[in-house]
Amino acid sequence: MTLKQRIIAESKRLGIDKIGFASAEPFYELEDSLRRQKELGFNSGFEHQVIEERIYPEKTFENPKTIISIALAYPTKIEEKVPRDEKRGMFSRASWGIDYHDILRDRLTKLIDFIQSQAKSLEETEKWRFAPQVDTGELVDVAVAQRAGLGFIGRNGLLITEEFGSFVYLGEIVTNIDFEVDEPVPFGCGDCTRCVTACPTQALLGDGSMNAQKCLAYQTQTKGMVPEEYRKKMSNVIYGCDICQLVCPYNKGKNFHFHKEMEPEVDTVYPKLKPMLSISNKEFKETFGHLSGSWRGKKPLQRNALIALANLGDRSALPEILVCAKEDVRPVIRGTAAWAIGKLGNREAEKWLGILTELLEKEQDEEVIVEITNAIERLEK
């Protein structure tokens, strides 16, 4: 067996669902798109900021020869029944189970250890170099995976694999070892535009790129006020968005439970919303700290929980929402709580108008003042 064949065999033993080998040549095909995205202000700000380093692997790795790309399939359906006891939020599927960054880093580290063990001499071991990356690195993961033959980049910008659809986590290893590379997978969406049509904010541009500022997954991760135009469209999702994946024909019937670390706990990924409003830092870390969806801290998730309660019409939560509006030191939480009161307080409009008017007299933050004023106007109607 060649070294490549031994690596492929070991990858299966390690629980890697797909593996491919790509040339480390520059990704010239990305340049126009990446520059256009930046010029138009379509980036989320979470991307690696130096475009040249995203295109040229040699900018961050000396003498790169090959990029080994891996994919792990994740579940799309929860095996436990979601209780209907009270209103619950939802984390998108990519945030179920243990943070995928940790899972992928574990697999990449073990794969590198194996490759090093296959060196024929100490000299070869010292010569070989590796740089593992998991979506926080310089390279564009989907472009690497497409070149490595794992799948193609769909109209929604996600990698679509034949076996697992787009429900895969991606990671890669840049190395100075020269491997025989795999064939890239050609575009497979044809005339289908279901993801583009289904996107509630028209974030998808249809060519594999998007206006990330409009993407609901991005909006759930910001730390400021969510623009009002996006709030209703978030429904009860407090982190991420799965819509463009759920409508994709390649994802129909796809649901894989290969990795126990990815298995979701119902009370964690479908959390009760009211308790989230008063959760302590310690409780938040214990309950949600292992999820990739917790990386921005509890404030965005509490803000999103307020939005979800309003979208679900949960008037029973008004006492808890009022506590947020009156007592929370964070303007984003006070402002979002005021908006939620404006949505939920219509059956007792006089009562809530009085409360909001009192809040308005004491409030000093301009953004919160705008939200309270808008909520008052809504209830007056």
| Given 17, 99, 135, 141, the catalytic residue | 135
135 is catalytic: yes
Helix (H) or strand (E) holding 344: helix 331-344
Query: How many angstroms separate the most distant Cα atoms in the chain?
Result: 81
- The region that residue 329 occupies, defined by phi over 0 for left and psi between -120 and 50 for alpha, beta otherwise, is alpha
DSSP string, 180-241: PPPPPPPP--TT--HHHHH-TT--B-SSS-B-GGG-HHHHTT-SSPPPHHHHGGGTTEEE--
* Cβ-contact 356, 376 below 8 angstroms: yes
Distance CA 343, CA 275 (A): 20
Distance CA 42, CA 214 (A): 8
Residues 6+ apart with CB under 8 A from 303: 225, 226, 332, 333, 336
Measured from the Cβ of residue 75, the count of other Cβ atoms closer than 10 Å reads 19
Tell me the β-bridge partners of 73: 168
Residues identified as active-site = 135
